[in-house]
Amino acid sequence: MINEDLLFSNGAEYKNFKVNEIIFAEGDTPSYYFQIVDGKVKINNFNDQGKEFIQSIISKGESLVPTALFTTKSYPLNAVAIEDCKLIRLPKHNFLRLLKHHPELYETTLNFISEDMYYKYIMMQSMSFQNPENKLKTLMNYLKSQHQDQSQYSFQIPYTRQQLAFLTGLSVETVIRVTKNMEKNAILKIQNRKIFF
């Protein structure tokens, strides 16, 4: 996360998006650095049959696909608000100039990019699993690894069953069935429809 005052002093502005509004689409040219102030955004694409695949869900303090700003290629995916969102938007040229004048920000940016790549690698590996429980456990273990308290049931999964399905390539019905089975086996706990891992 880059300090908001620093972003604004370099030409950033607030931009609001409503639920389901597209922030950028596959094929668009990356023109802005985006950082979330409030709300959540899904990064997705669709296969040939039109099935949605959610690459990630990004929330407060995180940036949207900053890797795209370091190439001349178009976006290979979409960013869509899944809640009403308030974003900070900084033109690409200003963002790259900001990094030159504040080289310490490279470390912040590289840490975010590295964490994002790590997530993508473990999720690609989990896609090769035939067992849906393994896919869900891989995702839940990754999410919990970001959380300080690692004790059993200490972490509330921040996603709905639908979002878990999109993130793992499973059907919603499979996610519901598997999470109930995982609860029976004391792998997770369900309270008030929330999953604790």
- Assess whether 114 and 159 both reside in one domain: no
Query: Domain of 36?
Result: 4-123
- Assess whether 110 and 147 both reside in one domain: no
Task: Please give the pLDDT value at position 122.
Answer: 86
The yes-or-no verdict on residue 50 having pLDDT over 90 is no
What CATH number is associated with residue 103? 2.60.120.10
The yes-or-no verdict on residue 130 having pLDDT over 90 is no
**Position of tokens 């792998």?**
187
The domain tally of the chain equals 2
Task: Please give the pLDDT value at position 53.
Answer: 86
Q: Give the residue from 66, 89, 123 where a domain finishes.
A: 123
- Assess whether 133 and 106 both reside in one domain: no
- Assess whether 135 and 119 both reside in one domain: no
What CATH number is associated with residue 170? 1.10.10.10
Task: Please give the pLDDT value at position 194.
Answer: 96
Q: What is the pLDDT of residues 5-19, one digit of tens each?
A: 999 999 999 999 999
- Assess whether 92 and 155 both reside in one domain: no
- Assess whether 30 and 59 both reside in one domain: yes
Percent of the chain clearing pLDDT 90 (strictly above):
82
Q: What is the pLDDT of residues 72-96, one digit of tens each?
A: 999 999 999 999 999 999 999 999 9
Helix, strand, coil abundance in the chain, percent, nearest 5: 40, 25, 35
| Angstrom distance (rounded) from CA 177 to CA 197 | 16
- Assess whether 136 and 113 both reside in one domain: no
The yes-or-no verdict on residue 129 having pLDDT over 80 is no
Task: Please give the pLDDT value at position 48.
Answer: 84
Q: Give the residue from 69, 91, 123 where a domain finishes.
A: 123
Long-range contacts of 139-142 (CB under 8 A, 24+ apart): 139/164, 139/167, 139/168, 140/188, 140/195, 140/197, 141/197
- Assess whether 31 and 95 both reside in one domain: yes
- Assess whether 116 and 138 both reside in one domain: no
Task: Please give the pLDDT value at position 68.
Answer: 95
- Assess whether 115 and 143 both reside in one domain: no
- Assess whether 100 and 47 both reside in one domain: yes
Q: Give the residue from 99, 123, 147 where a domain finishes.
A: 123
| Angstrom distance (rounded) from CA 123 to CA 41 | 18
- Assess whether 117 and 181 both reside in one domain: no
Handedness of CA 195, 154, 137, 144 (dihedral sign): positive
Confidence of residue 1 (pLDDT cuts 50, 70, 90): confident
What average pLDDT does the segment 142-161 reach?
A: 94
Confidence of residue 120 (pLDDT cuts 50, 70, 90): confident
